[in-house]
Amino acid sequence: MERPRIGIFKYSCCAGCQFQLIYFQEHLLETFGAVDIVYGRMETSAGSEEGPFDVVLIEGAITESKQADQLKAVRGRSKYLVPIGSCAVNGGIPAIKNLTPELEVEQRVYSRIEPIHSVRAHPADEYVRVDAYLRGCPVGETDLIELVTALLLGTRPRMIDYCVCVECKRRGNTCILVAEGAPCMGPVTNAGCGALCPSNHRSCYACWGPMPGANAPALARKFEAMGMPPDEIVRRFTEFGCPTLEFRKGAELYE
């Protein structure tokens, strides 16, 4: 069997997910040793973005029309396309700028904005069909191994699709939402981080995005019963500026 050809394309983000891939490569030779990363500016100096690819991994949010154009072209050159990390999956941190007037953020950061053709930050699936999501900020190791293994076996990957509370309970944590009234988003957030924040006595703020079928209205009503003001409830569910359909259902009750 030929080794699958992987291409990695970066758009607007901190590149933390690619750093994570490089870190995983050093520790998971048995997984990465079975694939060829044929394009990826941070992973290899060889290769070309022309492909063709078996799998393209997309990192970062789409914030420029030329990025959208390239993404569509890359989709046509790859059998599978998978957004990696919250920026590509949900808009993530770059999408916070969607909460301010267009170009206001750019004006704060750059001395000249004339060369910038920045638009709102969007996830990859607003432009192209995607085949799976590799969630996390940065991406999670368990899902990555599952993705690569499924690719090698020709099976459908079974990604983590339950909430942070499951991992929190596995770690034996006392629930800070129930016991202390902390505004934890764990019940609606996709797991994979190992319940990092609640395990350190901090509320989850949903950086991995919603789990499939998240019951955001129920959690929003719980926050209301705890005395949280409506604008704070809305902020909890729209924090990353590109709220998903699931989280919009929590926010729109209080807008």
193-223 per-residue burial string, b: 16 or more CB within 10 A, e: under 16:
bbbbbbeeeebbebbbbbbeebbbbebbebb
Contact 4, 55 (CB under 8 A): yes
CB proximity list for 214: less than 8 A, separation 6 or greater: 163, 187, 188, 189, 246, 247
Would you give the binding string for ligand SF4 spanning residues 205-224, x where CB under 6 A is met?
A: xxxx----------------
Q: How far is CA 138 from the centre of its chain?
A: 8
* Of residues 99-158, those binding ligand SF4 (CB under 6 A): 137-138
Axis-axis angle for helices 141-153, 16-27 (nearest 10): 70
Axis-axis angle for helices 216-225, 230-238 (nearest 10): 150
Which one of residues 173, 181, 228, 235 is an interface residue with ligand SF4 (CB under 6 A)?
A: 173
Which single residue brings its beta carbon nearest to ligand SF4? 186
Q: According to the binding rule CB under 6 A, does residue 246 interact with ligand SF4?
A: no
To the nearest whole angstrom, how small is the minimum distance from the Cβ of residue 2 to ligand SF4?
Answer: 29
Tokens 């719980």, located at residue? 222
Where does this chain touch ligand SF4 (CB under 6 A) — which range of 121-129, 144-152, 168-176, 245-253? 168-176
Which one of residues 40, 123, 198, 250 is an interface residue with ligand SF4 (CB under 6 A)?
A: 198
Where does this chain touch ligand SF4 (CB under 6 A) — which range of 28-36, 98-106, 160-168, 236-244? 160-168
Which one of residues 8, 184, 233, 242 is an interface residue with ligand SF4 (CB under 6 A)?
A: 184
Q: According to the binding rule CB under 6 A, does residue 189 interact with ligand SF4?
A: yes
Q: According to the binding rule CB under 6 A, does residue 164 interact with ligand SF4?
A: yes
What does the DSSP 8-state code read for residue 8?
A: E
Token pair of 181 as six digits? 């009234």
Which one of residues 62, 81, 168, 220 is an interface residue with ligand SF4 (CB under 6 A)?
A: 168
Which one of residues 92, 123, 157, 210 is an interface residue with ligand SF4 (CB under 6 A)?
A: 92
Strand, helix or coil for residue 65: helix
Q: According to the binding rule CB under 6 A, does residue 188 interact with ligand SF4?
A: no
Tokens 């009234």, located at residue? 181
Q: How far is CA 84 from the centre of its chain?
A: 6
Strand, helix or coil for residue 51: coil
What phi, psi does 249 have (nearest 5°)?
Answer: -65, -25
Q: According to the binding rule CB under 6 A, does residue 8 interact with ligand SF4?
A: no
Binding site for ligand SF4 (CB under 6 A): 13-17, 59-60, 85-87, 92-93, 137-138, 164-165, 168-169, 173, 175-177, 184, 186-187, 189, 193, 195-198, 204-208
